[in-house]
Amino acid sequence: MPRRKKTTIKAKDTAIFGQLIAELSKNPELAADYDMDSIEITITKKYQPYILDVDKAISNLQHYYAANKQFIEHFNGKPIISKYLLAKMMKVSRPTVDQWLEKGFISQYVMPSIKVTSFDIDEVIEQLHKQKQ
């Protein structure tokens, strides 16, 4: 993912420069050791997070599950799929799966009877399809 665009503004070019200096001057270390005229404000551009190649992740997931479903453990008819296994199935890294969870692209559920977190393959595929739109 490319770096987000940054914009830097000199604080002394703002209408609140005097207030900013007054507030920062309350800190004795800043007031004594720093040049308050050199204060800059940096702003980073917002971006809409996305998945780079959703179709490939879906295809990899479907292919892996079809070829290996007999080797995946089940409990009460539901497959037990860890983050590590899901990442392996989609051919992405485990931190990528963590990022997708954090950003709400996919979700997991807890199997209450055995207190294990797992993923529903059909649900993950459906959630990934929503990311294409």
With beta carbons less than 8 A apart as the criterion, state whether 20 and 11 touch: yes
**For the segment 112-132, what is each residue's pLDDT rounded down to a tens digit?**
888 888 999 999 999 999 988
pLDDT-derived band at 66 (thresholds 50, 70, 90) equals very high
Judge: domain 54-132, CATH 1.10.3470: no
Q: What is the pTM of this model?
A: 0.66
- Residues spanned by CATH 1.10.10 within the chain? 54-132
pLDDT-derived band at 67 (thresholds 50, 70, 90) equals very high
**pLDDT exceeds cutoff 90 at 70:** yes
Give DSSP secondary structure letters for 25-58.
TTSHHHHHHS-GGG-EEEEE-------TTHHHHH
pLDDT-derived band at 1 (thresholds 50, 70, 90) equals low
pLDDT-derived band at 2 (thresholds 50, 70, 90) equals low
User: In the predicted model, what is the mean pLDDT of the chain?
Assistant: 90
